[in-house]
Amino acid sequence: MNDLVALNLEMIVTIVDGGIGEDVIDYSKKAGASGGTILHGRGSGVHDTGKFLGLDISPEKDVVLTLVPDSLTNEVMDAIGKGIKIDIPGNGICFSIDIDKVIGITKIHQYREVVEMKELLEDN
């Protein structure tokens, strides 16, 4: 049975136009994240509707979920924001959610152990 891992984690949620999700993961990894999950969806906001050959269309969206230690959240979100030029209207949205409990992860747990070990060595 998996043990619950007690870490200070946050999930970064980034919603962008379809096809941009891979870029979001690349920017996340460059900032220290171990990866992410891309979910596909369809937008329904003001910027998301249009017509093509007389048919209403709603562009596809990528929803990228990235689980990171809270110490990396700002750095990863900043890298995503700069990478996808989030300050331009319609380029996407990015926010974080605190995570209380998680099971089934190893890479983030290993990251936390390395950080704690470094802090311990610096204190001595």
User: Model confidence over 3-25: pLDDT tens digits?
Assistant: 544 568 999 999 999 999 999 99
**pLDDT at residue 103 in the model:** 76
Whether the predicted pLDDT of 50 surpasses 90: no
Are 62 and 16 in contact by the 8 Å Cβ rule? The answer is yes
Element (H, E) at 15: strand 9-17
Whether the predicted pLDDT of 1 surpasses 50: no
Are 66 and 83 in contact by the 8 Å Cβ rule? The answer is no
Residue type at 70? D
Closest of 59, 58, 68, 2 to residue 30, by C-alpha:
68
pLDDT digit string (tens) for 90-105?
A: 899 999 999 988 777 7
Phi, psi values for residue 73, rounded to 5°: -55, -55
**pLDDT at residue 59 in the model:** 78
